[in-house]
Amino acid sequence: MSYKKWVLVAVSLFGVGLVVGLALPPELNLTTETLTSLEELSRLLTPFSILTVLLIFVKNTSTLVFSFILSPLLCLVPVISLTVNGCIISLVSAMVVQEQSLGFLLVGLIPHGIFELPAFIIGQAAALSFGAMVLVALFRKEKRGLLMGGLKQNLKYLALALVLLLPAAILETYVTPWLLT
């Protein structure tokens, strides 16, 4: 399957997560425990700090690399990552819109989301492509010769995704907080 089709699969899985998050009844939405955990994490990530840029960048890159490495395990990690992240984004977005406004949500998401969401989709599509390729090669000897070329191609897409995460982390640390104040 071509890489473009894997991007469509990744976008579809992310979209399923978004829809599931929006479809959940309000009482099943984010619990107080989850919100408390997110608040504690946000205290570590102070705006306008290079340490915050590094923490966000390392967290996001490690998530994509982890997903890529574990993708041969039936592609479960990228599938779960795409759907769960979509679900969380829709849950948090619904809460922000309810408590603030749609404009506040868009100002908070768009600056860094322009880089972060494509990076996430590109990286997860590469993970799905690589994982599926390994699984096919395990069961079809004639496909094993294509594995190294596919790995190299998918590593290029993963590298592109990782590069996009740096401006996303910078914008999330310096621009988003400034716009929201």
DSSP string, 87-120: HHHHHHHHHHHHHS-HHHHHHHHHHHHHHHHHHH
Distance CA 152, CA 174 (A): 34
Does residue 109 lie within any of the structural domains? yes
Instruction: Check residue 25 and report its DSSP letter.
Output: -
Q: 25: pLDDT confidence band, cut at 50, 70 and 90? A: confident
Among 69, 60, 85, which residue's Cα sits nearest to residue 155?
Answer: 69
Q: Which domain holds residue 84?
A: 3-14+48-180
**Tens-digit pLDDT profile for residues 26-78:** 666 555 566 566 666 666 678 889 999 999 999 999 999 999 999 999 999 99
Does residue 9 lie within any of the structural domains? yes
Distance CA 13, CA 78 (A): 9
Tokens of 88: 């969380």
- CB distance 55 to 181 below 8 Å: no
pLDDT on residue 82? 98
Q: Indicate whether this model's pTM tops 0.85.
A: yes
Does residue 89 lie within any of the structural domains? yes
Domain count for the chain: 1
pLDDT on residue 35? 58
pLDDT on residue 42? 66
Does residue 154 lie within any of the structural domains? yes
